[in-house]
Amino acid sequence: MKELNLTLDEAKRFILYKQGLLGEHRFSGKEGVLDFVRQAGCIQFDPIDVCGKNAELVLQSRVSGFTKKMLYELLYEDRKLLDNWDKNLSIIPVENWPNFKRDRDWHFEHERSFDEIQKACEKIKAVITERGAVCSADLGMSEKVDWYWTSTKLSRAALEHMYFRGELAIHHKKKSLKYYDLIERCLPRKVLETADPYPDDFEHNKWRVLERIGALGLLWNRPSDAWLGIGDLKSEIRNQIFDSLLAEGKIIPVQVEGIKHKLYCLKDDEQIAEIVKGTGNVNGKKRCEFIAALDNMMWDRNLIKAIWNFDYKWEIYTPAAQRKYGYYVLPILYGENLIGRIEMVFDKKTKKLEVKNLWYEDGFKVTKKIESAVESSIKRFEEFSLS
């Protein structure tokens, strides 16, 4: 079996090239947003907005000229992207919607407060059919029911349940408020009528493992947050999936200098190894980017530690007194290396971006060139924040 051999520096470049974070921008404008999401399979959505929502932060670091409006249009006007569960709550290409049929089917028979919600669904569907997209506040139904994180209004739980089982889609948002409409008004008929391409559980999980390897570039067959959202992926099943993908020639083992465990890449990414071989940057340009906390690249923080010797923890849920850095801190990428962390807050009232803290890694030599690159990235980030 063919195996790739990479040095640590080549492994860094491999991941960064695949991620569109190395050298000149490979993704540009609205089409670049769509191209990257299709390549990654999904980008994780999180509603917390300190200096931008996670999905926006992922894209600002990769897509030249990215604005928040581009993502909104692709989701709610062009309908080429879709809010959907994948790696937790995510944004996926619309054409991947048929692949998650099993998840939607599960919600038809399993749900919290199932009986109360079922009684409300037909009423809500009639209202939406007549009026168009609605939010929970439009429906009344303010009685509380047990829901996933806490009790909530029946209207909200019922709308989310109908969304989970594929009857509704998020039509648009006003800030964080979701408006739902009938799925057939939001997705093309061709997509809705496409059969589940992976009706077998094992084949479905194989597709999802393959997607996650492609989302990172290099990934190992170990317990990892990169597998979040893939149901029933115990180590025995995961091992069988890797064996099957290797036998089918869909993935290639990669031995990285100094790393005990084998990594794997997609067969389709084999040529990246040749691009990143040797020394220096791919095309000589060193970019400085701020990386999202839930960025695809950061999904396996143990892998990041092994390759970059960069120990990162998202401390948003860590009590303030126990934080080493801050509430919402982004890694700083310069060229091929993770050189520090930055904590920024965008004030929506004053329309100003405040840099609260900036930390460079211990032992890292900060030059005027690097300081200038970080300053330029902060200015560019502020423009993105206003978009």
Domains of the chain with bracketed CATH: 103-192 (1.10.10)
Q: Alpha-carbon distance 229 to 353, whole Å?
A: 34
Q: Return the pLDDT at 318.
A: 96
List pLDDT tens digits, range 273-307. 999 987 555 666 799 999 999 999 999 999 999 99
Q: Alpha-carbon distance 101 to 111, whole Å?
A: 16
Higher-confidence residue: 112 or 191? Answer: 191
The runs of H, that is alpha helices, within the chain are: 8-19, 29-40, 54-60, 68-76, 101-107, 114-131, 154-164, 189-192, 201-216, 235-247, 270-276, 301-308, 368-385
Indicate the SS3 state at residue 179: strand
| Average predicted confidence (pLDDT) for the chain | 95
Q: pTM score > 0.85 for this model?
A: yes
Q: Are 143 and 130 in contact (CB under 8 A)?
A: no
List pLDDT tens digits, range 103-124. 999 998 888 887 888 889 999 9
Q: Return the pLDDT at 278.
A: 73
Distance of CA 3 to the CA centre of its chain: 29
Q: Alpha-carbon distance 375 to 325, whole Å?
A: 20
Q: How large is the angle between the packed helices 8-19 and 301-308, nearest 10 degrees?
A: 130
Q: Is the pLDDT of residue 72 over 70?
A: yes
Q: Return the pLDDT at 10.
A: 96
DSSP-derived pairing of the beta strands 329-334 and 337-347: antiparallel
**Two tokens at 130?**
């007549």
Task: Give the whole-number percent of the chain exceeding pLDDT 70.
Answer: 98
- The answer for 383, left when phi > 0, alpha when psi is -120 to 50, beta otherwise, is alpha
**Two tokens at 2?**
């063919």
